[in-house]
């Protein structure tokens, strides 16, 4: 248990379909019950990668926070490892929601979702399908699979397609997954290959963090058919979308289009790249806007 300023962070675990998800719970100072925000990370990421500052910012504002790691990644249980299943990750989010609702210090009627990158798409989809979410924050969100696929370049697209096909066959035959890279350079078989990916992805890792830069290839095909941005218009709760104008992973254009068509969405744009929003000035600007939004909506 670590205390920084008025925020206490506790290591916790919750069940998702029989597997334990590792998580951090951030408790604000003072008496509860508190509103709470569940933080959901991006493609192959774990809670150690850039989420602690956001969770602390929310907790400093009087909003409890739960940052967790999906099954099959990091210190969470689940086999096989490093397999990104969109449906199962959204089940993990649902399990996290049910977990925080049962906590003594939390108000179950004031649960918000925060998602970044691929998790931004998750919280849009999950929030649109539920009536018990008080607010959604989607940061540099993945909203359109075809648009994101085009950022790979032709050579990487062909290579990722080959890994996706091989992994699909392995899955049908009951064999071990066939892995591609999560982050790579242009021309490699990787899910993200833009020029700022390697440096930006690794900048999120704390000192001593053990990187596992693999993901089962099947997600390369699954992504192309995912367009969670289409569900923005179905969100019934107040929603804040924080979009990066120089985003090389989750393109800005489709996100803005979806946001402008959604009646309950507020859009904030920032002159940053996909990974810049986690650190430095990008973090300061985005977290300030997000805290103001959540305080206004959740009334801690």
pLDDT at 133 over 80: yes
At 252 the pLDDT is 98
Name the domain count of the chain: 1
In angstroms, the CA 220 to CA 165 distance is 9
Is 57 among the domain residues? yes
Is 180 among the domain residues? no
pLDDT at 4 over 60: no
At 5 the pLDDT is 62
Residue range 239-256: mean pLDDT, rounded: 97
Query: How is the chain split among helix, strand and coil, in percent rounded to 5?
Result: 40, 25, 35
Residue range 197-221: mean pLDDT, rounded: 93
Give the residue among 113, 122, 112, 117 at the shortest CA–CA distance from 89.
122
At 210 the pLDDT is 86
From residue 115, how far is each of 3, 55, 194, 210 by CA, in Å? 24, 12, 21, 23
Burial of residue 199 (number of CB atoms within 10 Å: 0-12, 13-18, 19+): exposed
What pTM, to 2 d.p., does this model score?
0.96
Residue range 111-126: mean pLDDT, rounded: 98
How far is the first Cα of the chain from the last one, in angstroms, to the nearest whole number?
A: 23
Give the position of tokens 């000192």: 207
Is 273 among the domain residues? yes
At 3 the pLDDT is 40
Is 31 among the domain residues? yes
Give the residue among 120, 123, 162 at the shortest CA–CA distance from 249.
120
Is 128 among the domain residues? yes
pLDDT in tens, 50-98: 999 999 999 999 999 999 999 999 999 999 999 999 999 999 999 999 9
pLDDT at 256 over 70: yes
All residues at 6 or more sequence positions from 174 whose CB lies less than 8 Å from its CB, including other chains? none
Per-chain mean pLDDT for the chain: 96
All residues at 6 or more sequence positions from 141 whose CB lies less than 8 Å from its CB, including other chains? 115, 116, 117, 120, 121, 123, 124, 228, 229, 241, 243, 250, 255
CA 104 to chain centre: 26
CA-based radius of gyration for the chain: 18
Residue range 218-234: mean pLDDT, rounded: 96
Domain holding 37: CATH number? Answer: 3.40.50.1820
Q: CA geometry: angle at 151 spanning 159 and 85, to 5°?
A: 65
pLDDT at 201 over 60: yes
Residue range 13-25: mean pLDDT, rounded: 98
pLDDT in tens, 142-182: 999 999 999 999 999 999 999 999 999 999 999 999 999 99
pLDDT at 266 over 70: yes
**Domain that includes residue 270, residue range:** 2-145+227-298
pLDDT at 1 over 70: no
Return the structure tokens found at 110: 């004031």
| DSSP conformational letter for 49 | T
Beta bridge partners of 78: none
All residues at 6 or more sequence positions from 193 whose CB lies less than 8 Å from its CB, including other chains? 151, 152, 153, 156, 183, 184, 185, 186, 187
In sequence order, what DSSP letters do the residues of 91-153 get, joined into one string? Answer: HHHHHHHHHHHT-TTEEEEEEEEEEETHHHHHHHHHHHH-SS--EEEEES----HHHHHGGG-
């Amino acid at each position: 248990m670590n205390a920084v300023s008025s925020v206490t962070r506790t290591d916790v675990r919750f069940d998702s379909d029989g597997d334990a998800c590792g998580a951090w719970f951030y408790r604000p100072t003072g008496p509860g019950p508190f509103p709470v925000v569940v933080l959901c990370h991006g493609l192959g990421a774990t809670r150690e990668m850039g989420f602690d500052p956001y969770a602390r910012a929310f907790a400093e504002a009087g909003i409890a926070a739960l940052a967790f790691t999906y099954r099959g990644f990091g210190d969470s249980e689940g086999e096989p490892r490093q397999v990104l299943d969109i449906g199962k990750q959204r089940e993990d989010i649902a399990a996290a929601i049910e977990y925080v609702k049962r906590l003594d210090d939390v108000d179950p009627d004031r649960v918000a979702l925060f998602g970044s990158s691929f998790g931004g798409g998750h919280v849009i989809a999950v929030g649109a399908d539920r009536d018990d979410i008080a607010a959604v924050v989607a940061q540099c969100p993945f909203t359109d699979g075809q648009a994101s696929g085009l950022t790979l370049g032709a050579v990487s697209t062909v290579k990722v397609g080959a890994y996706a096909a091989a992994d699909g066959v392995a899955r049908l035959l009951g064999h071990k997954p066939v892995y591609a890279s999560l982050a790579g350079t242009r021309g490699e078989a990787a899910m993200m290959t833009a020029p700022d990916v390697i440096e930006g992805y690794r900048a999120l890792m704390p000192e001593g963090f053990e990187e596992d830069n693999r993901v089962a290839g099947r997600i390369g095909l699954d992504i192309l058919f995912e367009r969670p941005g289409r569900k923005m218009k179905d969100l019934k709760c107040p929603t804040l979308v924080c979009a990066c104008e120089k985003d090389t992973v989750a393109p800005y254009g489709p996100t803005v289009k979806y946001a402008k068509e959604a009646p309950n969405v507020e859009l904030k744009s920032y002159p940053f790249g996909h990974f810049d929003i986690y650190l430095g000035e990008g973090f300061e600007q985005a977290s300030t806007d997000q805290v103001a939004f959540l305080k206004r909506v959740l009334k801690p």
